[in-house]
Structure 1
Amino acid sequence: MFQFIKDLLLPSDDPTTAQTIVFVAAAITGGVLLGRLKVAKVGIGAAGVLFVGLLMGHLGYSLHTETMHYIRDFGLILFVYAVGLQVGPSFFASLKKDGLVMNGIAITAVFISFLVAWIIMRSTGTTAENMAGIMTGAVTNTPSLGAAKSVLKEVAAVKQGTYADPANGYAIAYPFGAVGEILLIILFMKIFKVKVKDEQQRFEEKRQKDYPHPSVVKCRVTNPNAFGKTLGELLNKESLKDVIVTRIKCSGTTKVSTPTADTVLKERDVLMLVGLPDDVDVVVTMLGRVSTDNFITSDEEIESRDITVTKNNATQKSLAQLNMESAYGVKVTRIFRGGMELIATRDFVVHMGDTLRVVGPVSELKNAEQFLGNSRHRLAEPELATIFVGIILGLILGSIPLAIPGLPVPVKLGIAAGPLLVAIFISRYGGVAHLHSYMNQSAAWFMRDFGIALFFAAVGINAGKTLYESFMANNGWMWLVYGMAITSIPVIFIALVGRLVFKINFLQIAGMIGGTYTSPPTLAFCNGYFKGDVPAQAYATVYPLVTIARILAAQLFILLFLQ
C-alpha cells in the first residue's frame, strides 16, 4: 500500500526527477537544522546543507543527472546574483581611501592562497583537481568550487579524460576554513591587545572625519554685505552650491516659507541651512551668525517629511532633473540609502527605494508624495523582470571566452562571476531601462540562502558517493592539513599587514578576513562579537573583487596544472 512512499524516499540506482527534488529538499531541511547548532556561538550556517548532502550521498542517495546539474548551477546563479544586488550600492563608494587598500590586501591574500596551494601540490604530488577542491574549501568560497567543476568538465571533454571531483577536497577542507578564520581572529585580538570599545570609538571618529553627517544650522543674517542680495547671488560659488536653504523666517514676523534662488535677504532674516559641516560654517560666516530662533521650526505650514521613492517616473534621474523646487515648491535636503545619510546634491541620481527628506509647505508635500510614490506595498513586490534580465546578461558575460595561449580551453567569468558583476552594476545604476533593481532585504536574503542551499544539496549528494573512498585513498587527514595551511597563511598576512603596515582598525580587519574568505559564519561571528556594522561594511567592501579573483584563480589552477 505504501510502496510508492518507499519508492519516493529510499535511494535508487536510477532516481526520477521527483525523487531528486525530494532528496534535495531533505538535504536542505536537515542541513538548515544542523547549521543552526552553535558551539561557542559559532555555527556553520548554510554549509550544514553540504554536510548533510555528503552523508546522504555516502548512504547511497543519488540524483537524476540532468536535474542535478540544473539545480546545482541555478542555485549558484541565484546566490551570486543576490549577493551582487546586496553589495552593489555600496561597492563603488567603498573603492575610495581605505577601500582601495583593503581590496589590495585581499587580492594579495588570494594570490598567496593560490601560491601556497601550488607549493603543496608540487611538494606532495596531489593532483590539480583535488588541490583545487582543497583550495576552494580552505577559503570557503563556493563560487570558485563551481568554477573549478565547470572548467574541469570542459577540459575533460577536450582531453577525453576522467578526473576526481573537486567537491571531495572542498568538503574536507571547508570545516577548518570556516572555524580557523574565527580562531585566528581571536588569536590576533590577543596578540594586538585589542579592546573592542576603543576600536569602535576610533572608527567612529575617523568615519565622522572622512564622511561627516549633514549639518543643520539656523543662521541669522547680520552681515551688511548680504543685505538686499538674493540667495542665488550669495551661494553661486561651486563649493557652496550643495548648501541647501530649506526655510526662511523674515525679520519682524513669525511667518516661515520655503525660499528660492530669487529670495532677497533682509537684515535679521533667519535661515535654516543643511549641508556638509565645513560648507555650512562658511555660509554662516558669510551671512552673519548662528541663531537660536525657534519660530523657524514651529510653523505648522512648513514641514519636513521622509518620502520613499516607489514610482518609476521618479527613478534613475538626478535631483536637478526632478527639479522638485520648481515643480512642487519643496526642497530635498537628504537622501537615505542602504543605511547611509547623504547630502542631496543636484547631480545625485535617485533609485527605487531611496528615502528623500523633503521640506516645504504641507499642501505641496502631498503633491510631492504622490509624484514620488511612498508606497511600501510597491517595494514589497520584487521586480522579477529585472532579476531574470540581469541573469541573462550575466550568463552572456560569463560565457565570453578569454583565450590564453597555452591553455587547453579559454578562461571565462562563468556562471558565478558573470551574474555577480551584472548584479553589482544593475544595483549601482538602479536597474535596466525602466526596470528597477530594488529588492527588500528579506527577499534578497531568501534568494541568496535558497540559491546556496540548492547548490550545496546537489554538490553534497553527488560528491558524497565517493567522499569516503577519496578520503581513504588520498589520506584525507593530510588533505585537512593542506587546507589548514591554505586557510591560515593568508589570514596571518591580512592581520599583520593590515594592522602593522596600514594601521587599519581591527574591526575592519576582522570583516576583511571574512570577506576575503567569503565566509558567512565568520561575518556572523564578527557581527555578534563586535556588536556593530563595521565588520559587515569591510566584508562588503572586499567581497565582490575577491569572489571574482577566486573564481578566476580556481579556473587557472585547473588549466595550468591539470595533467
Structure 2
Amino acid sequence: MFEWFKVLFTPTETPEMTQSLIVLFMAISVGFFAGKLKIGNVSLGVSAVMFVGLFLGHLGFSMDAELIQFVREFGLILFVYGIGIQVGPTFFSSFKKEGLIFNALGVGTVFLGGIIAYLIHLLANVKIENAVGLMSGSVTNTPGLGAAKSTLIEIQKQLNLPSDHFSDPAIAYAITYPIGVFGIIMIIILAKNFLKIDLSNEVILLNVKNKDSENKIVRQKCRVTQPNVVGKTIRQIFKEFHIENVIISRQKQSGTKVVFSPSLDSIIKDKDVLMVVAKQKDINKFIDIVGKVSTDLFIESEDDVTTKILSVTKKTATHKTLAQLDLYNQFGLKVTRVVRSGLEILAQPTLELYYGDTLLVVGSKEAIQEAENIIGNSKKILLEPDFLSLFGGLIFGVIIGSIPIMIPSLPVPLKLGLAAGPLLAALFISRYGGVGVIHSYINNGAIHFMKDFGICLFFAAVGIKAGHGFYDNFIANDGWMWIYYGCYITFIPLTILVLISRFVFKLNFYQMVGIMSGSYTDPAALAFSTKYLDSDIPNQSYATVYPLVTISRILVAQLLILLFAS
C-alpha cells in the first residue's frame, strides 16, 4: 500500500525527478538543522548541508545528473550575486585609506595559498584538480570550487575527454573543509594570546585612529553671535570662509518661534539659531566662524517645518541629482541626508539618487506630500520583489562570466565563469545603482534569503555528488595525508598575514581578524570572532576584502586547472 512512499526514500542509482527533489530537500533541511548545533561558540552553519549531502551520497542516494548540475550552478550564481549586491556600495570606496592595504593583504594570502597548492601538486604528486580542491576546502572558499569544477567540465567538452578523466575536486574540498573552519578560529585565539592583545586598549586606539565621531553625519544647533557674518547670505558665508559639506536645515530668528528651512540666499541675522547637518569636524569649523553652540529648543519644533523619511521608488527621481530635482525651489524642501545600503551620505546637490535610497527631508507637511508624488515613497513597492531587476542582473552576470579570454598556451579560453561573472555584475550594478531598467535595490531580507538559499543548493548538490565513493576515495587517496597537506594551506598564509599585519602595517587586532576571516571567505570564523571579541568591528574589514578576495580565489583556481591539468 505504501510502496510509493518507500520508493521515494530508497537509494537508487537512477532516481526519478521526484526522488531527486526529496534527496535535495532532505540534505538542505537536515543540514540546516545540524548547522545550528554548536561546539562551544562554533557552529558549521549552512556548510553542514554539504556534510549531510556527503552522508546521503555515501548511503547511495543520488539525483538526476542534469538536475544536480543545474542546482549546483544556480545555487552558486544566487549566492555570489547576493554577496555582490550586499557589499557593492562599500567595495569601491574601501580602496581609499586603509582599504588598499587590507585588499593587498587579502589577495597576497590568496596567491600564497595558490603557490602552496601548486607545490603540493608538484612535490607530493597530487593531481592538480585535487590540489585545487584541497586549496578551496582549506580556505572554505565555495566559489573557487565552483569555478574549478566549471573549468574542468569546459576542458572535457573542448577536448572530448571522458567524464571521469579528471578527479572530482569536491572530495578533497570536503575532506579539508573542517580544517579551514576550525583552523582560522584557532589562529585567531592563538594570535590574541601570543600577541598579548588588550582588547579594551585596541578599541581605544581604533577610535582615536578612525575618529568615528567625525566620520558620522550629525546635526547640531548654533546661535549666530559673530558680527562678521551678520547681514550676509548663507551662500556668501560659505564662499567667504571656504565652508564645504555643510547643510543648514532650519533657521529661527531671535525673538520668534517661527522655524523655516533656509535657502542659500537666506540672510543671517544676529542671534539667529541654525540647525547644522554635517560631519562633526565640519560643524565645529562652522560654529567657530558664526557663533556658538545653542541650546534653543524651539528650532526643533515640528509645527512649522517637519522632518520625514522618503524612499525613492519612482522613475521621476531615480538617477537624478538633487540639483535636478530642485526640491527646495519647487516645494521649499531641504534634503539633509541620504541613506544608501545602511550608509549615511550628506545630501550634496551633485549626489545622484538610486532606486531604494532613503532621503531625510525638512519642510512643511504640505510640501512633503507634494514631493512624494515625484519621489514615490511607496514602502509596499520596496517590499515586493522586482524579478526583472534580479534576473536581468543574473543574465548580465552570466554573460560576463561566459566571455572567452584567449590566453596563449592555455588549452581552452579563460572565462570568469558562473562564480566571478555574477559577482562582478552585482558589484557594477550596485556601484551605479543599476543599468537601464535593472536597479540594484534588494531589501536586506531578500538578500539574506538569496544568499542562504543559493549556498544551500550548491552545498547540497556538491555533497550528494561527492558522497558517492567518498569513503573509497578517502582511503585510496590517503585522506589523512590530504588533511595534512590542507594544514599547510590553512596555517602558513594566515600566520604570515598575522605577522605582516601586526608588525609591518601595525593594524588593529579587530581589523586584522576581519581581514583573516575575509581572506578565507569564512562566515563561520567571522561569526565566531564577533562573539569571541564581543564586537562588530571585524565585519567592516571582512566586507572590505571579501569581493576582491573571492574574485582572486576564483581566478587562481581556474588558472591552476588550465595551466597544469593533464
- Which category describes the TM-score, using the shorter chain as reference length? over 0.9
Q: Name the SS for the 1:312 alignment partner.
A: coil
How far did 1:531 drift? 2.8
| 1:415 corresponding residue in structure 2 | 418
How far did 1:251 drift? 3.2
1:471 and 2:502 matched: no
Deviation per CA, 1:338-359: give whole Å up to 9, x if none.
Answer: 3333222222222233222211
Give the aligned CA root-mean-square deviation in angstroms: 1.8
Q: Does the 8 A contact of 1:386 with 1:432 survive in 2?
A: no
1:499-510 correspondence runs (5 A) = 499-510=502-513
Q: Name the SS for the 2:355 alignment partner.
A: coil
Q: Name the SS for the 2:275 alignment partner.
A: strand
Distance 1:263 1:477 in 2: 76
Matching residue's letter, 2:161: Q
Q: Does the 8 A contact of 1:61 with 1:461 survive in 2?
A: yes
How far did 1:281 drift? 3.1
Matching residue's letter, 1:79: F
| 1:197 corresponding residue in structure 2 | 200
Q: Does the 8 A contact of 1:312 with 1:436 survive in 2?
A: no
1:450 and 2:492 matched: no
Distance 1:69 1:503 in 2: 46
| 2:281 corresponding residue in structure 1 | 278
Q: Are residues 435 and 394 of structure 1, via their aligned partners in 2, closer, same or farther at CA, if it must alter by over 3 Å?
A: closer
Distance 2:496 2:240 in 1: 47
| 2:299 corresponding residue in structure 1 | 296
Distance 2:110 2:389 in 1: 32
Q: Does the 8 A contact of 1:242 with 1:346 survive in 2?
A: no
| 2:359 corresponding residue in structure 1 | 356
Matched residue pairs, number?
563
- Which consecutive unaligned segments of at least 5 residues does structure 2 have? none
| 1:15 corresponding residue in structure 2 | 15
| 1:242 corresponding residue in structure 2 | 245
Q: Are residues 82 and 237 of structure 1, via their aligned partners in 2, closer, same or farther at CA, if it must alter by over 3 Å?
A: farther
1:174-185 correspondence runs (5 A) = 174-185=177-188
| 1:333 corresponding residue in structure 2 | 336
Matching residue's letter, 1:286: I
Q: Does the 8 A contact of 1:85 with 1:423 survive in 2?
A: yes
- Alignment identity in percent? 47
Matching residue's letter, 1:251: S
How far did 1:238 drift? 9.6
Q: Are residues 41 and 97 of structure 1, via their aligned partners in 2, closer, same or farther at CA, if it must alter by over 3 Å?
A: same
Q: Name the SS for the 1:125 alignment partner.
A: coil
Q: Name the SS for the 1:275 alignment partner.
A: strand
| 2:80 corresponding residue in structure 1 | 80
How far did 1:335 drift? 2.2
1:81-96 correspondence runs (5 A) = 81-96=81-96
Q: Are residues 355 and 61 of structure 1, via their aligned partners in 2, closer, same or farther at CA, if it must alter by over 3 Å?
A: same
Distance 1:305 1:360 in 2: 9
Distance 1:173 1:76 in 2: 20
1:217 and 2:220 matched: yes
1:257-272 correspondence runs (5 A) = 257-272=260-275
Q: Does the 8 A contact of 1:316 with 1:429 survive in 2?
A: no
| TM value normalised by structure 2 | 0.95
| 1:37 corresponding residue in structure 2 | 37
Deviation per CA, 1:378-409: give whole Å up to 9, x if none.
Answer: 22112111111111111111011111111111
Q: Name the SS for the 2:398 alignment partner.
A: helix
| 1:321 corresponding residue in structure 2 | 324
Quick check: 239-248 or 20-29, which moved more? 239-248
Q: Does the 8 A contact of 1:396 with 1:418 survive in 2?
A: yes
Q: Does the 8 A contact of 1:308 with 1:353 survive in 2?
A: yes
| 2:443 corresponding residue in structure 1 | 440
Distance 1:468 1:218 in 2: 70
Distance 1:67 1:278 in 2: 58
Q: 1:516 aligns with which of 505, 519, 524?
A: 519
How far did 1:77 drift? 0.6
Distance 2:276 2:3 in 1: 77
1:5 and 2:5 matched: yes
Q: Name the SS for the 2:274 alignment partner.
A: strand
Deviation per CA, 1:53-84: give whole Å up to 9, x if none.
Answer: 11111111121111111111111111111111
Matching residue's letter, 2:540: Q
Distance 1:252 1:386 in 2: 53
- Which consecutive unaligned segments of at least 5 residues does structure 1 have? none
| 1:122 corresponding residue in structure 2 | 122
How far did 1:270 drift? 2.4
Matching residue's letter, 1:121: H
Q: Does the 8 A contact of 1:315 with 1:352 survive in 2?
A: yes
Distance 1:385 1:376 in 2: 18
Q: Name the SS for the 1:358 alignment partner.
A: strand
Quick check: 231-240 or 269-278, which moved more? 231-240
1:394 and 2:397 matched: yes
Distance 1:164 1:114 in 2: 19
Distance 2:219 2:49 in 1: 50
How far did 1:490 drift? 1.0
